[in-house]
Structure 1
Amino acid sequence: MSLDSIQVFQSLNSSPHAHLEQSARLGDGLNAALWSNHHDIREYHAPDHHTLSCYIADGTGTFRRDRPDQKGSPGKLCVLPAGHESAWVINGRIRLAHLYISPEQFALGCVTLLDREPRTLQLQENTFLDDARQADNFRRLIGLNWHEPGERLLTSSLAHDMLSHALLTQVGLRDGLRLKGGLAPHLCRRLVAFIETHLDEGLSLGQLAELCALSEYHFARMFRSSFGMPPHRYVLQRRLQRARHLLRESAVPLGDVALACGFASASHFTNRFRQAMGATPGEYRQAFA
């Protein structure tokens, strides 16, 4: 997910009153931005991404147009889920940080952290939320140098922690849910367990489809409906997540990490890892040394 495709980012970036202090693509569908703004009006119309926002300084004159009696202040958080509609009035000045989350990364968290089918859950919209832990995470986030390679990787790790915290505290069941298509819950659980125990192997679409007694074509469609992403992307994300864990928590040689995570060679592993994280596995390990 590039910054050019993020509606909330582009809305602020198009304002003559808003100033982008810094931004960074953190990999894994996560992006961060630090803004200052003054005397402005901004509207967001059903973005396809989720946004976590924290007021860093000022903001006491900022409010939603439909809730003029509620004002912001430093440390307040706003949770803006994909598909929401909001209009904001900024009287005076404000400095705020954003974390943008792709729907695929949100879906992956629903599966791996909450053990739930992503389409059954929704990130709950919230305005001027008090959450001391998440506010502290945002302050730590802006204290790092997003463009220095080592600290950029620490920033990425912190962003993952912030997403996990939001999943555990700000996610609820989707209202008026009527599911159509997709895989049965017991099949989803079977697939997740099978993939986790076979990440070091060369998994195929046919192999996964066979577990569900479906043709490859129908399995791929139903998997995407249930998991919010195609099977190959889900497997790749799980392999990269395992790789990050091994790189941070062990001294396993890089070649062995590649094999343990199902990559055919160290060069293939390095290329995929760099595409996702913007750094090589060795640089990632060094950042957490």
Structure 2
Amino acid sequence: MSTIYETAENPVSIDEIVHVLSHRPIATTREREWSGVTVDMYAPLPDVSDRYPALDHHLICYCPSGSARLVQGRDGSVHESLVSAGVSMLMPAGYDSLWEGSASATARLRIPAALISSAGEQTGRRSTSQIEIRNVFETRDPVIEHVALILMGELDRKPHPAQTLIVDHVSFALAAHLIRSYNVFEPVVPQLPPALSKVEIARLTAYIESNLDRQIGLVELAAIVNVSRFHFTRLFKQSTGMTAISFVEQCRIRRAQSLIMETALPLSEVALMTGFSDQSHFTRRFHRHVGYTPAAFAREHGRRRGVKGKPN
């Protein structure tokens, strides 16, 4: 689909935006008349090429599941990335925008400017000139994610008098967080991405160990934990203290050691079964990790090698 709108003289409001977009939400809180954040849920869009006018409110697009490669354009800058589960995009009021590529499923949180101003007053900022929300093309923010999940959960529940109180407090908390973490007048505090969980590490390890007989790419490993290759590289190093490539190689060497000790397979077959391109490469990497050549390791552990194996 392709839709282009000229930038309007008057920014588009939360009520008007549903009539401006080329697609419709699959679920929304609009009928609930929440006074805080409005939440619109959108299904994945495989073919996007849209340009939209500026908004009079702040927008957070949170990806709850799936992944898609998306190009965003705002404030004269263009950003391309793989948007995956847990990623948020923050577009401040007053920015016209360009969206191209594919869009993942999104929860779009629309925050009234008045809510930001009210939170600013509560934090001692008496003037709106002290508040300017940053444009952020991509972030993994656990607070935004937590708030988005709460609001999505309330959308899934039947309306209840308590819901207004919950949404009001959560909305105000989100506004306060944006002022604290995304106000251009506040110092930028680098955020470390959350580490991979033990379950995710176990899932990755099981996948690697089941595929040691072939090359394993970073893209496929990143897909297992539903993040981009770029984020996966940093997350894995942060979580394990080593690169994913080093981890895979260590798994290959451990498997090779087990095969050498427990079988009489020729070393050339051990090399192929553990994903090394040839026996010479296998020998070099094995010696680097273990301190022995594969043949010396076999002799040290008392196993007789098959005649088809070439001595190392």
* TM, length-normalised to structure 2: 0.47
Asked if residue 95 in structure 1 is aligned to residue 95 in structure 2, the reply is no
Closer/same/farther in 2, CA of residues 129 and 10 from structure 1, 3 Å limit: farther
* Counterpart position of 1:82: 93
- The size of the alignment, in residue pairs, is 167
Closer/same/farther in 2, CA of residues 30 and 145 from structure 1, 3 Å limit: closer
**Matching residue within 30, 44, 47 for 2:37:** 30
Closer/same/farther in 2, CA of residues 48 and 2 from structure 1, 3 Å limit: closer
Give the Cα–Cα distance (whole angstroms) in 2 for the partners of residues 19 and 5 of structure 1. Answer: 12
Give the Cα–Cα distance (whole angstroms) in 2 for the partners of residues 172 and 5 of structure 1. Answer: 28
Equivalent AA in structure 1 for residue 122 of structure 2? T
Equivalent AA in structure 2 for residue 47 of structure 1? L
* Counterpart position of 1:229: none
Closer/same/farther in 2, CA of residues 165 and 68 from structure 1, 3 Å limit: closer
Give the Cα–Cα distance (whole angstroms) in 2 for the partners of residues 146 and 2 of structure 1. Answer: 25
Correspondence list, 1:1-289, <5 A: 3-6=14-17, 9-11=18-20, 13-14=21-22, 18-25=23-30, 26-28=33-35, 30-36=37-43, 37-65=45-73, 67-91=78-102, 94-145=104-155, 148-150=158-160, 152-153=163-164, 154-173=166-185
User: Equivalent pairs: percent with the same residue?
Assistant: 16
Equivalent AA in structure 1 for residue 173 of structure 2? D
The CA deviation at 1:147 is 6.6
Give the conservation status (yes or no) of the 8 Å contact 1:31–1:99.
yes
User: Cα deviation per residue 1:68-92 (whole Å; 9 max; x = unaligned)?
Assistant: 543321111111111112201132x
The CA deviation at 1:137 is 1.9
User: Cα deviation per residue 1:214-259 (whole Å; 9 max; x = unaligned)?
Assistant: xxxxxxxxxxxxxxxxxxxxxxxxxxxxxxxxxxxxxxxxxxxxxx
Larger radius of gyration: 2
Give the Cα–Cα distance (whole angstroms) in 1 for the partners of residues 152 and 136 of structure 2. Answer: 22
Give the conservation status (yes or no) of the 8 Å contact 1:28–1:105.
no
Q: In structure 2, list runs of 5 or more residues that go unmatched.
A: 1-11, 187-312
Closer/same/farther in 2, CA of residues 52 and 45 from structure 1, 3 Å limit: same
The CA deviation at 1:113 is 2.4
Give the Cα–Cα distance (whole angstroms) in 2 for the partners of residues 113 and 59 of structure 1. Answer: 36
Closer/same/farther in 2, CA of residues 122 and 10 from structure 1, 3 Å limit: farther
Greater length-normalized contact order (CA 8 Å, ≥ 6 residues apart): 1
* TM, length-normalised to structure 1: 0.51
The CA deviation at 1:173 is 2.7
* Counterpart position of 2:297: none
The CA deviation at 1:155 is 3.3
* Counterpart position of 1:282: none
Give the Cα–Cα distance (whole angstroms) in 1 for the partners of residues 130 and 152 of structure 2. Answer: 33
Q: 71-80 vs 114-123, which deviates more?
A: 114-123
The CA deviation at 1:165 is 1.5
User: Cα deviation per residue 1:119-143 (whole Å; 9 max; x = unaligned)?
Assistant: 2320111011121221122122212
- Secondary structure, counterpart of 1:173 in structure 2: coil
Give the conservation status (yes or no) of the 8 Å contact 2:68–2:82.
yes
Give the conservation status (yes or no) of the 8 Å contact 1:54–1:76.
yes
Closer/same/farther in 2, CA of residues 100 and 79 from structure 1, 3 Å limit: same
Closer/same/farther in 2, CA of residues 60 and 48 from structure 1, 3 Å limit: same
RMSD: 2.7
The CA deviation at 1:160 is 2.4
The CA deviation at 1:146 is 5.8
Give the Cα–Cα distance (whole angstroms) in 2 for the partners of residues 63 and 110 of structure 1. Answer: 32
Segments ≥4 residues shifted beyond 6 Å: none
The CA deviation at 1:111 is 1.2
Q: In structure 1, list runs of 5 or more residues that go unmatched.
A: 175-289
